[in-house]
Amino acid sequence: MMISSKTLILLTFVPLSIFSCAKKEKHKEKEKTEETTTALTLPYDFENPSQKITLPKSLKEISGLSFYKNNQLACINDEEGKVFIFDLAKKEITQKIPFGKSGDYEGVEVVGNEVFVLRSDGLIKSFKIGEPYEREIDCSDPDVVEYEGLSYDPTTGNLLLAAKERIKEVDSKKMIYAYDFKRKILFKSIAIPDEKLIGKDGKKTFRPSGIAIHPITQQVFIIASQGKKLLILSKDGAKEALVDLNPNLYKQPEGICFTPNGNLYISSEGAGGDGYILAFDYKK
């Protein structure tokens, strides 16, 4: 039975750099989701999803998802050059759309009628469903070892790319990059110092695996499979919350997206089992 209570969370306003251009309870297998830090009620109960949707075998290693249209999500796995349209009502794949060769694909974002797919090395492939149109955008950067996570910021018109890992010689900050379509350039957008990523466990492990912009508040949600955390930033880049995710519920979370009305979806590989999607209703 799903609990409909809202998650209560403490808020710390710590500005981040913006660039221009768990205690175990006895007798229970439990490591609850914890939220760090003045009281703000988040509109999602991260410990109690409204649905857990098991995915078919072709999405066992789901690595990204995006809202497509009513009751449908665009999903990718990290091996095949295909976008899978998953129907939430039917709970099945209704369409498979090839877009390229096999590769390490880690993010997908639908913008209007165009689909963007991010490869881990920074190459973005895009196409329009049902139209003879495609293009490639090179977002590789010498400082980035691997990207994981792609989103679109409607306020700027830029794509956002989450760097999972950067070369150690640069610095230890986690970095969100932005691609400007008008100027056709990639630039550093948000820098996140390690000390802002320390959770209840005292650890600062946080390797981004997914990113999404809330359609109503414009907050930036960044999820990390390695570290099992969800970082929430204001639209201006200030840290608002750091959620420590229950590893029993979030086995390998690698994708995050919103519907236009604010409902949240987080995808996870099954870590040996089936892939799945967790759904969270938006409670205003």
* pTM for this predicted structure: 0.86
* Tokens describing residue 115: 């689909």
Residue for token pair 């979370």? 253
pLDDT at 16: 45
Contact criterion met (CB below 8 Å) for 230 and 223? yes
Give the domain range for residue 141.
59-280
Report how far residue 239's alpha carbon sits from residue 198's, in angstroms, rounded to the nearest whole number.
12
Determine the pLDDT at residue 141. Answer: 97
Residue 187 counted as domain residue:
yes
Residue 259 domain flag: yes
Angle at 29 between CA 26 and CA 33, to 5 degrees: 100
DSSP state of 55: P
Residue 13 domain-assigned?
A: no
Say how far apart CA 202 and CA 235 lie, in whole Å: 26
Residue 15 belongs to a domain? no
State the Cα–Cα distance between residues 111 and 124, nearest whole angstrom: 13
pLDDT of residue 253: 98
Amino acid, single-letter form, for residue 42: L
pLDDT score for 17: 43
The domain total for the chain is 1
pLDDT lower than 50: segments of the chain? 1-31, 37-39
pLDDT by residue (tens digit) across 201-225? Answer: 788 889 999 999 999 999 999 999 9
DSSP bridge partners of 166: 144
Other beta carbons within 10 angstroms of residue 231's beta carbon come to 24
Closest CA to 223 of 144, 150, 119, 116: 150
Q: 168 lies in a domain?
A: yes
- Contact criterion met (CB below 8 Å) for 167 and 212: no
CATH of the domain at 253: 2.120.10.30
